[in-house]
Chains A and B, each alone.
Chain A
Amino acid sequence: TQLLEQSPQFLSIQEGENLTVYCNSSSVFSSLQWYRQEPGEGPVLLVTVVTGGEVKKLKRLTFQFGDARKDSSLHITAAQPGDTGLYLCAGVNLGGGADGLTFGKGTHLIIQP
């Protein structure tokens, strides 16, 4: 069973600060997805990274896939209260298939005004 560990589990910072959350595994993934879940709602896909070393930007959010495709990071610049939520990474297992998605347990992020 492939595992994805996310760190930190909880993070509370002030508006305007920068932060990075991590998604790590000892397994190689063919691609990796990042979701954000707000209270009372289902997760929403933010981005998929596919190539080792790939960097994708979504406004103030920067996603990077590790060179070896075993890990990923999410960096938020000048965090805003609207960034508050649970951030989940999900690795697409090599070989894919119907059960080929492994979720991390998530990082709970709170941005205080």
Chain B
Amino acid sequence: EAQVTQNPRYLITVTGKKLTVTCSQNMNHEYMSWYRQDPGLGLRQIYYSMNVEVTDKGDVPEGYKVSRKEKRNFPLILESPSPNQTSLYFCASSLSSGTYEQYFGPGTRLTVT
């Protein structure tokens, strides 16, 4: 089954404790991206990757890091999480550039206290 998986689905952590949210897709897609979704603000892109070893900032990259060492994986790293990073996070992939049909993961709900 074609899918994007994210782990963990739920995470409660404390300020400053480094964390990684994993994302993996099995569709051999070149393009992957991370979004955060907040009430009243909608979906905002954090980072995206056109292919292996190629990443770039989206609209709200501050406080986040990403890496793309393999085509299928695109982890999101929060080196020092803060309460304003409490949000619902989605990983997405598409066949090529971000203009193509986006396949979204199920989401990761992160709470930073």
Contact = CB atoms under 8 A, between A and B. Distances in A.
A16 interface: no
A103 B37 CA distance: 11
Interface string B57-81: 0100000000000000000000000
Contacts of B105: 42
A62 B18 CA distance: 46
A33 interface: yes
B98 A105 contact: no
A40 interface: yes
Contacts of A31: 99
Given A97-B97, A99-B58, A45 B102 contact: yes
Interface bracket on A: 20 to 34
B50 interface: yes
A101 B101 contact: no
B97 A43 contact: no
A48 B98 contact: no
A35 B56 CA distance: 24
A82 interface: no
Contacts of B58: 99
Contacts of B90: 42-43
21 contacts: A40-B106, A42-B4, A42-B92, A42-B106, A43-B102, A43-B104, A45-B103, A88-B43, A90-B102, A96-B97, A96-B98, A97-B97, A97-B99, A98-B97, A99-B98, A100-B97, A100-B99, A101-B45, A105-B40, A105-B41, A105-B42
Interface of A: 30-31, 33, 35, 40-45, 48, 88, 90, 92-93, 96-101, 103-106
